[in-house]
Amino acid sequence: MSKDQYILILTNFPDAESARQIGTQLVELQIAACVNLLPSSQSIYRWKGLTECKTEVPVFIKTTHNNYKEIETRIREVHPDQVPEIIAVPIDHGSPDYLAWISDSTFD
């Protein structure tokens, strides 16, 4: 796949500080162009047969397809959940200038 196949990675962290730490690390390593930390939200889900509810900080990561594996690895290294949410969604369309900026801000 070419470097210019863009993706949006969605994940959640248990608090703003841990979300900020991973976001900063990904941008400083130039494997993510931008990381958005959203206000905390409530997640309701089933885990091991029980309905769970917890507060989390949603994180949006803009990057390229070639950086996905390294980002997934780094999230797994620091995330406290046994099975953290890590979902990649292709970016099929976007402002050409913004997509070019993602390419310029990352490398593989």
Domain ranges of the chain: 6-105
Query: CATH second-level architecture of 6-105?
Result: 2-Layer Sandwich (3.30)
Rounded average pLDDT over 78-99: 96
If DSSP states are collapsed to H, E and C, what string results for the chain? CCCCCEEEEEEEECCHHHHHHHHHHHHHCCCCCEEEECCCEEEEEEECCEEEEEEEEEEEEEEEHHHHHHHHHHHHHHCCCCCCCEEEEECCCCCHHHHHHHHHHCCC
Give the tens place of pLDDT for each residue, 77-86: 999 999 999 9
Whole-prediction pTM:
0.94
